[in-house]
Amino acid sequence: MTVLCHIGDIPESGSKGFEIEGRALFAVHHQGQFFVYENRCPHRGVQLEWLPDQFLDYERNFIQCATHGALFKIDDGQCIAGPCNGKHLAAVPFQRVGDELVLSA
Ligand code: FES
């Protein structure tokens, strides 16, 4: 069981990046829910953030890739604008256990 973080580590409308067991991941806290994805843009395979822990667009409605500006829906990772339109971020299975986010095996 791998603990990703405590839910208090990510404020509402916030995001946070992780390096865990050689994997680059990030989590988003949006409208009371948490979402976890691989930190890899489906366009070029690069990491998404423009600054540490900054994965969202200015209005915090979408995940944004810093390289070419692709926008992804927070709830399912689908790209809705940009060069990888229609592709998806890779969702990472996890569970909320108490006040922690735990990666599923
Ligand atoms: S690398 Fe992400 S949009 Fe091009």
pLDDT at 105: 67
| Atom number of ligand 1 nearest to Cα 70 | 3
Q: Which domain holds residue 66?
A: 2-103
Beta carbons within 8 Å of 22's beta carbon, 6+ residues apart: none
Ligand 1 atom with minimal separation from the 46 CA: 1
Least Cα distance to 32 among 91, 78, 85, 74 occurs for 74
Count of domains for the chain? 1
How much is the pLDDT for 91? 98
Q: CATH number of the domain that 25 lies in?
A: 2.102.10.10
Could you read off the pLDDT of 35-62 as tens digits, one per residue?
999 999 999 999 999 999 999 999 999 9
**Tens of pLDDT along 68-91?**
999 999 999 999 999 999 999 999
Which DSSP symbol is given to 39? S
Q: Does the beta carbon of 42 sit less than 6 angstroms from any atom of ligand 1?
A: no
pTM of the predicted model as reported, rounded to 2 decimal places: 0.96
User: Percent of the chain beyond pLDDT 70?
Assistant: 99
Q: Residue 65 has which token pair? A: 């890739």
Beta-sheet strands, E only, within 2-93: 2-6, 14-20, 23-30, 33-38, 62-64, 71-73, 79-81
Indicate if ligand 1 lies below 6 Å from the C-beta of 14: no
The alpha carbon dihedral of 31, 49, 65, 44 has a sign of: negative
63 lines ligand 1 (CB under 6 A): no
